[in-house]
Amino acid sequence: MLELVIFSALNGVLYGLLLFMLSSGLTLIFSMMGVLNFAHASFYMLGAYFAYTLGMYTGFWPALILAPLLVGALGALVERFGLRRVHANGHVAELLFTFGLAYVIDELVQMIWGTVAVAYREPSYMREPLFTLFGTDYSIFRGVVILISILMFIALWYLLKKTRVGMMIRAALTHGEMVGHLGHNVPRLFMGVFGFGCALAALAGVIGGPLLATEPGMAATLGPIVFVVVVVGGMGSLQGAFYASLLIGLLQTFFVAINASLADVFNALGANLDPYGEVGRISLATLAPMTPFILLVLILIFRPRGLMGELEP
């Protein structure tokens, strides 16, 4: 039992941190530009594929730096020559633009890298166990992923709270026009934030690719969950996104781990559900992949502004 709890916690935290890396960029872009970037998960996918292709020439570590930089630059270009022009036509046009962009990227990826998963794997020495607990190995790579995620979180926090650029970004979040009047180049700031957000997504792709398979469907599977994170955390709140990511990661893994049915849970709460009925016998493990969406519905009903959000969605 103890081993199950420990490993589920480790898995949940790992998954949660990956989600956070992905959603932090999205929530940053949203709070600053008011744009819900539907193509965000596509940039995550591009990160994985870029790292796979670059990695064949440079090895894993240089690709870890280069792929996010490339995707970041691509994101900046998209903002400069796409979003900025569409911006004049309002939010709906922006939404439609990113929506279309997601499709374009998906198709391009299939044309370039094929419809089948590519063999993108972590270097072999990182497959060795970092530690072995109760006969289960925990690979070095998983440790590295956790480390990178935490470093990224600290770096992001430092950037936003302690640097001049961070101050400008925070100011532009709420008082964009004022920042502009003070002589700062707000459109360039937007471009930078959009590119930076895409680079974060790509970084998640570089380390998520070997963990969860690099294939053209990877954007479509994680995309909806990232939006759940942003809504549950509260639109535009980085801290909220952090808690929501961990919550979803842990919820999903522990639901798989627990051997109980719906009837067990509800009856423990005092309800009277037939343990052999159609609904009662559904096991929690079967529900696990649904948990983010159940959470989304509950949050929207009972706390529409999310865990830490200040804005009404």
Partner 1 sequence: MLKALVSIFTTTVLLAGTASADTVRIALIDPLTGPMAAAGQSAIDHLNFHAKTINANGGINGDKIEIVGMDNKVNPQETLVQFQKAVDNGIRYVTQGMGSSVGSALLTAVNKHNARNPGKEVLYLNMAAVDPAFTNERCSFWHFRFDAHVDMKMNAMTSWIQGRDDIKKVYLINQDYSFGRAVAEAATKMLKEKRPDIEIVGQDFHPLAKVKDFTPYVSKIQSSGADAVITGNWGQDITLLVKAAADYGVDLPFLTYYGAMAGVVTQVGEAGVDRIYQVNEYYGDFDDPDMADQQVAMYEQTGWDYYWLRLSTMLDMLQKAADKAGSTDPVKVAFAMEGLEVDTPTGKVMMRKQDHQMQMPLFISVLKDDMKYGAEGTDFNFHKIAEISRDEVSLPSTCKMRRPDNA
Please report, as ranges, the residues that interact with partner 1 according to CB under 8 A: 1, 3-4, 7-8, 11-12, 15, 110, 115-117, 119, 121, 127, 129, 132, 134-139, 142, 211-213, 215-218, 221-222, 252-253, 256-257, 259, 283, 285-286, 288-289
- 203's tokens: 């970084």
| Separation CA 33–CA 238 (nearest Å) | 15
Closest to partner 1 by CB, 115 or 174: 115
Query: Closest CB to partner 1 among 148 and 250?
Result: 250
Closer residue to partner 1, CB minimum distance, 81 or 293: 293
Extract the tokens encoding 140. 């070095």
Residue 33 CB neighbour total at 10 angstroms: 23
Total number of residues shown for the chain: 313
Closest residue by Cα to residue 235 from 71, 40, 76, 30: 30
CB 76 within 8 A of CB 140: no
Q: Closer CB to partner 1, residue 8 or residue 98?
A: 8
CB of 26 to partner 1, least distance (A): 18
- Residue 232 to residues 19, 91, 224: CA-CA distances in angstroms? 13, 22, 12
Task: Write down the least CB distance from residue 96 to partner 1, Å.
Answer: 23
* CB of 216 or CB of 306, closer to partner 1: 216
How far apart are CB 290 and partner 1 at their closest, in Å?
8
Compare residues 7 and 153 and give the one whose CB is closer to partner 1: 7
- Residues of 227-247 as b/e, b for ≥16 C-beta within 10 angstroms? bbbbbbbbbbbbebbbbbbbb
User: For partner 1, which is the closer residue by CB, 186 or 257?
Assistant: 257
All residues at 6 or more sequence positions from 227 whose CB lies less than 8 Å from its CB, including other chains: 26, 36
Smallest distance, partner 1 to C-beta of residue 24, A? 20
Distance, in Å, from the CA atom of 160 to the CA atom of 224, rounded to the nearest integer, reads 26
Shortest approach of partner 1 to residue 231 CB, angstroms? 20
Spatial neighbors of 62 by CB under 8 A, at least 6 apart, are 54
Q: Which two tokens stand for residue 258?
A: 């627990």
Q: 211, 21 in Cβ contact below 8 A?
A: no
**Cβ 119 to partner 1, closest distance in Å?**
5
Measure the CA–CA gap between 120 and 109, rounded to whole angstroms. Answer: 15
- 198: helix, strand or coil: helix
Least distance from C-beta 112 to partner 1, angstroms? 14
